[in-house]
Structure 1
Amino acid sequence: MRSPIEGGNPRVETDGFRRSLAEFATGVTVITTSVDGQRFGLTSNSFASVSLEPPLVLWSIRRESKSFSAFAACSHFAVNILADDQIELSQRFARSGPDKFRDLDCHAGEGGAPLFAGMAASFECVCSQTYDGGDHLVLVGEVLRYSRYDRQPLLFVKGRYAVSADHPDTRVFDGKDVRLEDGEERVLSNLMIRAYSAIAARLERGRQTAGLGLTLMQARLLRAAATSPDRTLDELMPELFLDFNASRNLLESVVALGLVAVDDRGRVRLTIVGEERLHAIVAHAHANEEILFQGIADADLATVRRVLNTMISKQFGDSKSVAAR
């Protein structure tokens, strides 16, 4: 059996404990309720089924949450299971702020709990029991009504968003395969995800053996911070593809390493040490790319680079930041 990469007492090694919990992949939900006509909602991945008879589900809320008193006193709540194109909705309800429901397409379910459009599924519940869960309160709901839609669910694992895919060892080919006759992937975005996964896996292994001491996500945060200095965490989040809590934990980890500094206005900038580490990461990536891309014509690589830069420019609307990448 391999030795663990980290371990210990969870009361002492809290960061490692949190990272270990993040190895368990979950869906992403927004739990909502209405109390005295006021709507409340928060992003949660603690949702789980409990029983079919009676139909029970549970989730937990942090006692320090600004919505705690509302959910602790609610008679009903709704579980909105997000679809894979609802990352923005997840991020919106992961942050504290004024009316999170503004301009959203939603309607009232059982007990007035808001239900969103475009979900993968929803459960409308009466809050039947609550239990002490340490720094959380566990809420058990009896499901009064459920709805399921033809959508793919949004997933969350290792502190980042993900989408589901058939495991290659269990995939069933039924004649409706997404590949063309010559074996090429029909869906370009799927091909890009698979290519990125292959490259990222190699770079991750290389970072570990080269002693660069950063995870893939930490390196991504340094790169995003260097692209356009003095952006806040909120402004960096679209490039991290993490919810607010995960992004904040990631930022805190690189601040603790002395690689990033945050000023009193929340603006993020690399330190001198961070710039040196990023230069080492970029040099390492270039060296690995020379190996990965052997046998691919320079003209083909230039085309790929041009296409990707165009896509990034359209997404972020900043050609200068694209060039800097």
Structure 2
Amino acid sequence: MSTGFFWDERCFWHGGGNYAATLPIGGLVQPLAAGGLPESPETKRRLKNLMDVTGLSAQLDMRTAPEATREMLERIHPASYLDAFKATSDAGGGELGHHTPFAQGGYEIATLSAGLAVAAVDAVASGALGNAYALSRPPGHHCTADEPMGFCLLANIAIAIEAARAKGLVNRVAVLDWDVHHGNGTQSIFYDRSDVLTISLHQHSNYPLNSGMVEERGTGDGAGYAINLPMHAGSGHTAYLHALDRVVIPALEAYQPDMIVVACGYDAASVDPLARMQATAETFSVMTHKIKDTAARLCDGKLVMVHEGGYSEVYVPFCGHAVMTALSGSDIHAADPMADVLHQRQPAPEFDAFLRQSIDAMALELDL
């Protein structure tokens, strides 16, 4: 079965307009790239370009998708939020709270971003593709049902899961979020439900503050179906792989999902400006291999990855290319130009042992 790659040039055109700038644009204030958003289109565009240059794109099933429909959106978001978003977008842009600005047309681009995730999940769940990647922008894992946060305007993964569920394509879905920031939005949407397991690996106390603690386990029918690993700053390659082996894969095996969806952020990479972790392109490659193998054992290989964060324009493309090589089983590799340097920056053995011990302690607290 082939690997799908869902993308659309229009998603790269999302920006914050003047609303994203600390100072008003004009006069002696030079306009900022991407409308002032730290979440730049270049990280995504350069990933797609790198795949084109290496020839990997030619081995993938490259697709676009229509915008998510209002019916799809309303399974997650209240009409009042969607109406306010659309009206503000039509009026030239702005923000609806939590410093998540958008320019005119931002509503349509956000629905397209969600639509890419919807199409990827649908194609894999229906058997049309073996697995898939959605290059969604703006991202979605911080957006709650009624509030945008952290560059996220619509809950892309949640919308995609519920669209597939409405068609009878999935029943139990596991969402693994390895973006360096807690996947609070996805967690909140499914917090009282047992039909979606949420697992988040993130840097402790990064963003959102006081969010994603081990004690957050779900409520009501969802009790026990939210898993959080707030990892220490400085966690590197072996700590991330230990977290997968010690917590993530056992949790997935216990849950037995119909499909695994990965909220795939690259901001745990060593050079990312918005985090303090030490992952490398190899880390993301090995994690993808491990989750791909797990999906093959548990759910006929049904695995979808949806793009989230990652803010190094130079390094995100190499992390993403490594993921796509692993996901597709291709023999086309893009050599990591920083591999030697980042290898030298990995935690010292004593600190690495401490990091793995802290993961073991959280696993015990989670009964894993």
Q: Considering the TM-score relative to the shorter chain, is it more than 0.5? A: no
Higher strand share: 1
Q: Which structure is richer in relative contact order (CA contacts within 8 A, separation 6 or more)? A: 2
Which one has a larger percent helix, Structure 1 or Structure 2? 2
Larger Rg: 1
* TM-score normalized by the length of structure 2: 0.26
